[in-house]
Amino acid sequence: MTPRDRIRRGLRFASLYLNAALLLAAVAAAPTARAQTWTEAGDAGELVGTAQSTSGSGSLTSISGTLSSHGDVDMYCVQLTSVPPSGLPLVSVACTMQADPTPYIFAASGLGVDTNMTCAGGLKQAVAPNFSLVPGQYYVAIAHGDYSANSAGGNIWQTAYMGPMWPNGPGAGSPLTSWIGPLTVVAPAPYTLILNPNYFVFCDTATPVETSSWGALKARFGD
């Protein structure tokens, strides 16, 4: 091999490794850039067993979807990363009146954590309750304001408009089994659940697959 050939080969490998570094950096950065929000895929279920799992990397800032009918309830799986102080807003949704959709937080077991049926300052805000939350899997849900979450023992929350509420109904000690409310004809209601990004991440955390990235490099630059 001549000196010129050695130089050409060296430049080729230098270009290969530079492009490899740039591609892997882009793969690592892309999930964080695009994974701040989740959009409902199809129709999210209304119970823990049928909830939609969010998937991505980094903090989860919002979940958008549509309540297709008055009886539609949407529930999503998320992860809580640390213990929030009591009273800190965790999940919010915009509102103009009390009957607008209401946010809910449930534990992985289906036990209620908090809700807020009161529209104040243009928001309904479910907050961290007065008992400590253990980091891990949780569920956030949204339903029309006159729908109620129920367990085998009855309503999980009282339906009076009292601001943020931890479970205070006769069914508070049992997991969610159903939602009950009037059958009213309403137009589809788009919503955006605003999550506190300091405490929530996706239910399923995506990780870059290095093997696939290297395979793409080989396909482009050869062995």
**pLDDT category, 208, cuts 50, 70, 90?**
very low
Give 117's pLDDT tier (boundaries 50, 70, 90).
Answer: very high
Q: Which secondary structure element, helix H or strand E, spans residue 37, and what is its range? A: strand 37-39
Query: What are the pLDDT digits (tens) for 16-52?
Result: 233 333 322 333 333 434 449 999 999 999 999 999 9
Q: In whole angstroms, what is the distance from residue 17 CA to residue 207 CA?
A: 22
pTM for the predicted model, two decimal places: 0.77
pLDDT tens per residue across span 51-101: 999 999 999 999 999 999 999 999 999 999 999 999 999 999 999 999 899
pLDDT for 185? 86
More confident residue, 172 or 25: 172
H or E element that contains 23: helix 3-34
Taking the C-alpha atoms of residue 36 and residue 169, their distance in angstroms, rounded to an integer, is 34
Residues 59/197, Cβ–Cβ less than 8 Å = yes
